[in-house]
Amino acid sequence: MGTILSGILIGAAFGFVLERAGFGNPNKLTGQFRLTDWSVFKVMFTAIVFAAVGLMVLEKLGLVDAGSLFVPPAFLGAAALGGALVGAGFAIGGYCPGTSVVGLMSGRIDAGIFLVGLLLGTILFAGIYPSIEVLTTLGEFAKADSLPDALSISDLYINIGMVIAAVGIFVLGSWMEKKFKGPVNSQV
């Protein structure tokens, strides 16, 4: 498939599903951090587990070559620091980068402001890059890039563990949501 066509079609499906889930709504998104709405955990965990198990099955069937998949390098300090900053930005701003596009397309001005901030943050990073370049390769774990390799166990066991964790998230999340009058709906 051509770059343009595959990009637009995959992107459109991505954006459609995010909006369907309510992920253009900052009240719903940040409800995860207030522990009153567990949709972010539920949707993300389900998608991760589905894709991880799907990739494992397709690899075993010989339909996908594991070596051709992009696995991000294990700069764990950089990932931890970046994750902390994106998490703080999400909690304060109400969006992550992708969901701010969804928010903007559903008419939310605050999502547009968040996107302006995103560009400013990128300019700031690029502007001081020479002095902070070291942060981007912080804490390299040299032994492995993936969890199965790091623990020397089959991806099957990791995936079984993730399925169990996902079920746990649904049970715990739904219980907490009931305590807090249910998840945020589309009319808030």
User: What gap in Å lies between CA 122 and CA 135, rounded to an integer?
Assistant: 15
User: What gap in Å lies between CA 55 and CA 14, rounded to an integer?
Assistant: 18
The answer to whether 91 and 30 have CB atoms below 8 angstroms apart is: yes
User: What gap in Å lies between CA 42 and CA 51, rounded to an integer?
Assistant: 14
- Residue 48 or 164 having the CB closest to other proteins: 48
Nearest partner of 22 among 95, 79, 85, 84, judged by Cα: 95
Q: Per the structure block, which two tokens stand in for 12?
A: 């459109």
Q: Is 152 in the site for other proteins (CB under 8 A)?
A: no
Q: Name the minimum Å distance from CB 151 to other proteins.
A: 10
Q: Name the minimum Å distance from CB 182 to other proteins.
A: 11
Q: Is 146 in the site for other proteins (CB under 8 A)?
A: yes
For other proteins, the binding residues in 97-116 under the rule CB under 8 A are 97-111, 113-116
For other proteins, the binding residues in 16-55 under the rule CB under 8 A are 16-22, 24-28, 30, 32-35, 38-39, 42-52, 54-55
CA angle 179, 181, 184 (to 5 degrees): 125
Q: Name the minimum Å distance from CB 134 to other proteins.
A: 10
Q: Is 176 in the site for other proteins (CB under 8 A)?
A: no
For other proteins, the binding residues in 81-100 under the rule CB under 8 A are 81-100
